[in-house]
Structure 1
Amino acid sequence: MLTPRFELTQSDSEVVITVHAPYANIKDTEVYVDGTDFRFFSSPYYLRLKLPGEIEENDASSGSYDCEKGDFVFRFSKVHVGEHFENLDMITTLLAPPKKKTTVVPTIEVISNPVVNCEDSIHGNSNETTAENTSTNEGNEWFVPQNVPSDNALFSIDSPKYGFASKVSGALAAFEAAWTGEIIDLPLPDATPASERKCLREKHEFESFSEEHYMADLIQEEYLEAYIAFEPEWYKLLDTEISLDGTEKDILKELPNKEYLLDENEIQKVCCGMVDILFGNCYNYRVTMGDNTVESGWTINKLSSTLCWFQEFSNMEEVITACIRRSLCYPLYRNWNLSMKVFQDVKAVIRLGKKYIIKRFCEIHSLFNTSYEPRYILNQLYIKDYLIWLQQVPSSVIESLNSELDGINPKKLQMRLDLVELETAAYSVHEEDLVIENAVHGMVEQVADLKIDENDKEKYMYTMESKKFLNYVLRKHSTSSSDSSDTDSETESDSSSSSSSSSDSSLDSDDTDVKE
């Protein structure tokens, strides 16, 4: 059976359930309502919802079908008029089956204690125990010796953890390192402890940081002005205007229902990871101006320490520092003002609440699923769980992040990339270049403004000829200066030959005089 796309809206007195089932058989359609339980069946579709409040079918209830859209619209009255149903747009939560409250009754009876028998054998009752155990084993086919697993076991309690809330280990053991290396910078993720990941990440960032690239984007910031001045949609939206589109609903309704038992420390780490991933998404949205490219998945993946290094963060300041560092090391545009603008974007997204954050994570999910590289693995390890958890987490948890982010003021010195020194050097060189450029432009303008009078024409022609001769001499001197040592002998021979020729000419002239 197919789970159809659906949408719920409410007023003070009723709930409207819209079910999109374009290929349904209308004659076989069945609808069932009982308290918080709503069921819809129309081959090949089946839908069961667990509502946050009770509804009932009465004379005010109605149902209709739109043939053009393929939508069923059902209206049911609320049992308690005026009650507000929370999270009607959390698709996965509504699809969860109702929990059954059962009383657990012990059904195990202890017949014998093998540990006690073993202790008896150690203390000298070995003969009696051996006979007793032998008779017992003969009548119990389920008795199998238990061996301690060897050190080569695939999973271990102490193996490094990663994934959402660090609940996964050994998940990448079956994949080739060269294949996962396209999306994960962490070497040996199944063997590298979490305590070493931060140090390895910072070392990799320091080696990847390009001083020339950073200074070029600093001096030529006019090429980035369009991206810095761009206004994303989250500055124009109100939290009451946010709604999930059809693609996002399709993603959510296919997610499994899970329950996460996280303590306060784990919730903090999960929130830090969420902000870390959102930074990469906001950076991509800004530099593409809302129109994703084939590099969008790479950008989000690369800027997130959570996705690229499986790192856990314990506080928000550490998260933002890592995000900004990576935005200055890897993407095409590496500019401090651009990174600070992205940080403001993250805060704006958080202020819109968890529904809009779900929209951003749905976009990430789609980008990773359509990526050429195997980024669907990151969906399995992180993004899917975030989508499920965000639908269940109280809104107060997300709202508490606003004040925490507002108190963070990143500094260039915190990046430990010598940004201040690089900017000082870049501006100094740039000013020198401007002085030389301005001087050249000034000389060109002065030459262009020269006017020649008829009276000074001969003087001008003489001056130009002198300049041509001077330029010729300078060029001749520059080409021959390196070979001066080789040409000295030739010069001497030339001078001697010239002197001899001159003497000959003088003799000739004397002869001429005699003849005359």
Structure 2
Amino acid sequence: MITPRFSCSQNEESVVVKIYCPSVRASDIEINVDDTLFTVHINPYYLRLNFSQSLLEDDESSAQYDPSSGYLTVTLTKAEKGQVFKDLDLLSKLLAPRLTEPPPGNPIIEVLDSDDAADIQTDEDALVQATESLTLEQNEILEAAESDWQLKQEVPEPLSSLRTSPTDRYGFLDSYSGYFTHVEHTENEVNELGSEAETLPKSDRRKHRIEHEEKKWDEEYYLADYADGEHIQELLCWRHPHLQLPDVSYTPEEELAMLNLPRKEYLASPLQTRQLYLTLLTLLFAYAYESRTTQHDPTPESGWTLGILIPAFSALDPPPYTDKSTNDPSTFSIEEVISTFVASYRRSLAFPLYRSFALAESCRSDVASFLSKGRRMVLRCLLEMKYILDHHDVYYVYSKIWIDDFCVWIQANASDETLHQLGSLICSLKIPKADIGWDLEELEALVSNSEVGREADSDDESEDEVERMLPTPL
């Protein structure tokens, strides 16, 4: 079956679904409404939408097909007049199946009868007899416990994780494997793990990533961009066009891209959800850097730039990068957010064309602005990243294992409240240069001191020139 293109709108009394299904017979259209579920079937098209509120198929509902345009317009009555249906422009969320009820966390036990008291007493008698038969050493242990003696205790060594497969999974919610089996035979300049990408454990991936960053760091390159910052200043003054628009309105191309996203339902744990939000920060940072350096006009190098700046792409190493996190899954500690941006800052200072701490700071500010505008703005950024990667012969793989799922998840599972909270936190964040690990402040001081020296020399030369021009005293 083919999922047709569609759009949804609403008024006070009804929801209007406009479906593009050309060259069909109107008499063969089957429409069904079941509470929040709406389905349309007409060979070869099939559409199933799950709305946030209940609908009715009554006398006020209607369906009209226009053969000249190929559009079927279905008007459905709201169960409650005036009720607002949210997220009608998030097409992937409408296409997602109904959420299943999660299993209860703890079983509920009810005592139906207490006639087993005699059996309980028998069990207690057996326990007393077993205690009386303990050895002398065992009795000493029991007495020590009662008297709170300080017996020697040792923490057992943790068991090594059991590996049932020679490959380690990666990607969105660690759902993928096999995409880098023959990576050494492709022109993948983003991958830093080489042929070991499929087998390296997560701890080794992080180690490889950090070692590669240290190897690629070039202090002379950084100093050159810091000293001659005219071209950097132009990038700093640029403002993203998306942030100048009051609202987000998707283009037909973006709507088509949403329709082509996979139909998935994600059951992420609170810990996994936290990791996804942190990974989203690295994606948006790379997007902000690519947009600023190209003035929002992607180049053939844009796919490489996105991939090389995202640790989850280049080294299959997503956040978190610190153990300092809060117990509340809906909030984020400053330490874990800083560590996430430090990883992105390091990569922006070690790999791409422009290597500037000030530029990285501007990209962080862009990330805060994107998040403050909510899911729709974040989705637009992700769709643009998807477009760039999908049109590359090699780097499309990162769209398959990360971006596609993020586009679906951000519509159906992400919270605007959490995104706004992250945006506020990031806006007031301060990334210490010392955390980058490359003595940036000392290097910048060298440039500043040399410039002061040059200015002093030039002043001395000017004074000498003035003295030569003065008349010789008699």
TM-score, normalised relative to structure 1: 0.69
Q: Deviations over 1:160-191 (max 9, x none)?
A: 33111223344422x24242642311241222
CA contact (8 A) 1:269 1:313 kept: yes
CA contact (8 A) 2:368 2:424 kept: no
CA contact (8 A) 1:197 1:310 kept: yes
CA drift at 1:404: 4.0
Classify 1:316/1:186 alpha carbon distance in 2 versus 1 (closer, same or farther; 3 Å).
Answer: farther
- Counterpart for residue 240 of structure 2: 232
2:20 aligned with 1:20: yes
CA drift at 1:342: 0.5
Gapped runs of 5+ residues in structure 1?
A: 104-154, 452-516
- Counterpart for residue 5 of structure 1: 5
TM-score, normalised relative to structure 2: 0.74
CA contact (8 A) 1:161 1:194 kept: no
- Counterpart for residue 270 of structure 2: 264
1:182 aligned residue (186, 189, 192): 189
2:370 aligned residue (329, 349, 374): 349
2:391 aligned with 1:385: no
Q: Deviations over 1:455-477 (max 9, x none)?
A: xxxxxxxxxxxxxxxxxxxxxxx
Classify 1:446/1:12 alpha carbon distance in 2 versus 1 (closer, same or farther; 3 Å).
Answer: farther
Q: Deviations over 1:422-450 (max 9, x none)?
A: 11111222333444556667888999x99
- Counterpart for residue 308 of structure 1: 314
Q: Which amino acid aligns with 1:12?
A: E
Classify 1:304/1:442 alpha carbon distance in 2 versus 1 (closer, same or farther; 3 Å).
Answer: farther
Identity across the alignment (%): 26
CA drift at 1:209: 1.4
- Counterpart for residue 277 of structure 1: 283
CA distance in 2, matches of 1:436, 1:66: 81
2:264 alignment partner, SS class: coil
- Counterpart for residue 346 of structure 2: 325
What does 1:402-441 correspond to in 2, within 5 Å? 402-406=423-427, 408-436=429-457
Question: Which has the larger helix fraction?
Answer: 1
- Counterpart for residue 485 of structure 1: none
CA distance in 2, matches of 1:446, 1:28: 101
- Counterpart for residue 217 of structure 1: 225
Q: Which amino acid aligns with 2:222?
A: Y
1:224 alignment partner, SS class: helix
1:76 alignment partner, SS class: strand
Q: Which amino acid aligns with 2:31?
A: Y
2:55 aligned with 1:82: no
1:18 alignment partner, SS class: strand
CA drift at 1:208: 0.9
CA distance in 2, matches of 1:265, 1:37: 31
Gapped runs of 5+ residues in structure 2?
A: 104-162, 321-335
CA distance in 2, matches of 1:16, 1:445: 82
2:51 alignment partner, SS class: strand
Name the stretch that deviates more: 384-393 or 29-38: 29-38
CA distance in 1, matches of 2:86, 2:300: 38
CA drift at 1:236: 2.0
Classify 1:284/1:70 alpha carbon distance in 2 versus 1 (closer, same or farther; 3 Å).
Answer: farther
Query: How many residue pairs were aligned?
Result: 393
What does 1:27-46 correspond to in 2, within 5 Å? 27-28=26-27, 30=29, 32-35=31-34, 36-41=36-41, 44-46=44-46
CA contact (8 A) 1:305 1:322 kept: yes
What does 1:167-206 correspond to in 2, within 5 Å? 167-173=175-181, 175-179=182-186, 181-187=188-194, 188-206=196-214
CA contact (8 A) 1:37 1:49 kept: yes
CA contact (8 A) 2:365 2:427 kept: no
Query: Whose Rg is larger?
Result: 1
CA contact (8 A) 2:23 2:67 kept: no
CA distance in 1, matches of 2:188, 2:200: 14
Q: Which amino acid aligns with 1:185?
A: E
Name the stretch that deviates more: 89-98 or 321-330: 89-98
- Counterpart for residue 54 of structure 2: 54
1:243 alignment partner, SS class: coil
CA drift at 1:407: 5.3
2:300 aligned residue (290, 294, 298): 294
CA drift at 1:338: 1.2
CA distance in 2, matches of 1:270, 1:66: 44
Q: Which amino acid aligns with 1:193?
A: P
Q: Which amino acid aligns with 1:385?
A: D
CA distance in 1, matches of 2:178, 2:26: 51
2:88 alignment partner, SS class: coil
Q: Which amino acid aligns with 1:24?
A: S
